[in-house]
């Protein structure tokens, strides 16, 4: 396996680990093969924003649960 193949395998693993779906991965590699780094970055930043929004939503849910736990313990 040459260096380029290793790099592509690492990229693929990283994209999968980051939660990218097959469509996004295919688009990323299309952009990679044409050397369009600007569009690659836009794609990655968009995915990052989606993940961050999900994280914030989960954090809000945790805050609600923490409040309920606190309230129940307070009234024991």
Domain boundaries, the chain: 3-74
With a cut of 50, which residues of the chain have pLDDT below it?
A: none
What is d(CA 56, CA 60) in angstroms, rounded to the nearest whole number?
6
Q: Which pLDDT score is estimated for 51?
A: 98
pLDDT tens string 28-48: 999 999 999 999 999 999 999
CB atoms within 10 A of CB 51: 13
State residue 16 phi and psi, 5-degree precision. Answer: -65, -45
pTM of the model: 0.82
DSSP 20: -
Q: Which pLDDT score is estimated for 25?
A: 98
CA atoms within 13 A on the CB side of 8: 13
């Amino acid at each position: 396996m040459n260096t380029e193949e290793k790099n592509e395998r690492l990229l693929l693993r990283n994209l999968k680990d980051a939660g990218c779906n097959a469509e996004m991965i295919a688009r990323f590699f299309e952009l990679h093969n044409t050397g369009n780094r600007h569009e690659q970055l836009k794609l990655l930043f968009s995915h990052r924003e989606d993940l961050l929004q999900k994280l914030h939503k989960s954090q809000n849910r945790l805050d609600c649960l923490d409040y309920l736990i606190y309230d129940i313990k307070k009234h024991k």
